[in-house]
Amino acid sequence: MAPAIRIERTRIPEVVALFPPEFTDPRGTFAETYNRRTFSALGIDWEFVQDNQSQSSTRGTIRGLHFQIPPAAQTKLIRVLRGAILDVAVDIRVGSPTYGRHVSQLLSQANKAQLLVPEGFAHGFCTLENDTIVLYKVTRYYSPSHERGLRWDDPALDIDWGITSAQALLNPRDREFPVLSELPNFFYNDDRRSAKSVEVG
């Protein structure tokens, strides 16, 4: 029997890190990074409809914090193909006991980790190495009219990105996103789509 996917729940239970098993032989390695049946058995039964891939040339590149609002809200499954990132998810579900809190997870080519970020969270990452490639699956198609963002350096979020504002490389648009206190209420804690339970054990 093949070894099971290892799952680690973060301090926000809906956000989980997954570590698919990797097999090594003289040719190199092989890993089944996504299997609909296997993930569904774990409670990860969203239908992913689009894959996105980004390449960041420079360490300290920050992409985020991004999300799409209903009815185009997305659950994301993120992994790194080359390099390393600090991946961050911020709970923006009004009424959630973890509203305004965040989790951060090291994702790298070396550790093969993936992060599941459900609807109701703003997502972003900071590259820890030059020439980093990130791939993420999403459950709804990209919709420019539904795209929103949260300010990456909002003091209320207290995110330690590992770099200073002067060192950060961002899209100018991302620097102009609102802080949490100015963000409209797009998600609520009773939205069951963003609160599915993932089995850990």
How far apart are alpha carbons 179 and 150 in whole angstroms? 6
* Cα-trace Rg, the chain: 16
Query: What type of residue is 95?
Result: G
Query: Is 142 marked active-site?
Result: no
Catalytic residue among 99, 102, 136, 142: 136
Side-by-side strand order, sheet with 62-68: 102-108, 84-91, 121-127, 62-68, 147-149
Clarify whether 123 is annotated catalytic.
no
Which position among 34, 66, 146, 188 bears the catalytic label?
66
Q: How many CB atoms lie within 10 A of CB 90?
A: 28
Whole-Å CA distances, 158 to 7, 164, 180: 26, 13, 11
Residue 90, CA distances (Å) to 11, 21, 27, 60, 158 in order: 11, 28, 40, 19, 11
What's the DSSP call for residue 172? H
147 DSSP 8-state letter: E
Q: How far apart are CA 23 and CA 45, in angstroms?
A: 25
Annotated catalytic residues are 66, 136
